[in-house]
């Protein structure tokens, strides 16, 4: 009996040691993600959890002016990613976002639209737009036919120049972004903070594709920055 109890006690010690090692490894992975990988993958990860009123207003101005310029010069665009999530969900920029995201078909790009934006005080090129401390990322897409099981469909592939400075995480992620052109063209129009803008004609399908777990499965939104999951007084923050 004593022998069996001793053997059981040893097994429990081994199990406890393994659990402790797994917890330490998990903590190390989380720390690495928080301090190295996620900050390098997203320029806004180290920003405050919630936008200041001033920066949020700048993002609204950018979305409105870019939409106006793209409409004027025939650019086929739509609000995308977190900006689409906010526009479709609350008609505004999400309070915990950090930038704006607008996609367009590459062949419809217009240099005149960028010139128009610069005249309004927004620096813009094919990659991004800047207005003070606020930025908008441009995602450019190329349509191409794809045949699967004898059925041909026009798909959108993200244009990704070899000279892009994005890291390997983003490069891999871009390869997973392909989706049908029919989800976005022709676009729908929606009221965004009092202004008419373009969004995909199937916003829910695209959002479920972009965010398969948080939007597609659970329909639950939360800040992507892990530090924002805890009260601000438990972390360094200027907005407590």
What pLDDT, on the 0 to 100 scale, is given for residue 129?
A: 97
79 - beta bridge partners? Answer: 102
CA–CA distances in Å: residue 184 to residues 76, 83, 156: 10, 15, 10
Query: What pTM value is reported for the model?
Result: 0.75
pLDDT at position 155? 95
| Strand segments (E) across 90-183 | 100-105, 123-124, 128-131, 134-148, 151-158, 179-180
Please state at what angle helix 111-119 crosses helix 53-72, rounded to 10 degrees: 140
Quote the radius of gyration of the chain (alpha carbons, Å): 23
d(CA 172, CA 20): 33
Quick one: pLDDT at residue 18?
Answer: 86
Cα(180)–Cα(151) distance, integer angstroms: 13
- Phi and psi (nearest 5°) for 222? -155, 160
Paired tokens of 30 = 């989380």
Paired residues of 140 in beta bridges? 104
pLDDT of residue 219: 57
User: Which pLDDT value is given to residue 90?
Assistant: 92
Examine residue 12 and say whether the peptide bond preceding it is cis (omega within 30 degrees of 0). Answer: no
pLDDT of residue 54: 95
**So what's the pLDDT on residue 27?**
80
Successive 10-residue mean pLDDT values, the chain, 240 residues: 61 82 83 61 64 94 98 97 93 91 97 96 95 95 90 91 65 75 96 96 92 68 59 55
In the DSSP assignment, the letter for residue 127 is S
Q: How many helices (H) and strands (E) does the chain have?
A: 7, 9
CA 84 – CA 66 distance, rounded (Å): 14
């Amino acid at each position: 009996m004593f022998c069996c109890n001793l053997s059981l006690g040893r097994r429990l010690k081994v199990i406890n040691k393994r659990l402790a090692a797994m917890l330490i490894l998990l903590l190390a992975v989380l720390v690495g993600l928080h301090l190295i990988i996620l900050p390098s993958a997203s320029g806004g990860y180290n920003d405050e959890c919630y936008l200041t009123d001033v920066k949020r207003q700048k993002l609204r101005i950018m979305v409105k002016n870019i939409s106006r310029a793209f409409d004027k010069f025939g650019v086929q665009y739509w609000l995308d990613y977190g900006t689409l999530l906010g526009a479709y969900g609350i008609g505004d920029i999400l309070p915990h976002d950090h930038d704006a995201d607008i996609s367009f078909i590459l062949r419809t790009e217009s240099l005149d639209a960028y010139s128009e934006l610069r005249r309004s005080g927004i620096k813009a090129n094919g990659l991004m737009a800047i207005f003070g401390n606020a930025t908008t990322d441009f995602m450019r897409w190329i349509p191409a036919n794809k045949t699967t099981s004898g059925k041909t469909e026009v798909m959108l592939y993200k244009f990704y120049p070899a000279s892009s400075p994005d890291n390997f995480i983003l490069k891999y992620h871009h390869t997973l972004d392909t989706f049908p052109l029919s989800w976005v063209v022709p676009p729908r129009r929606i009221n965004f903070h009092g202004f008419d803008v373009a969004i995909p004609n199937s916003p829910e399908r695209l959002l479920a594709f972009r965010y398969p777990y948080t939007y597609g499965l659970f329909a639950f939104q939360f800040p992507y920055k892990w530090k924002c999951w805890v009260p601000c007084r438990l972390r360094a923050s200027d907005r407590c």
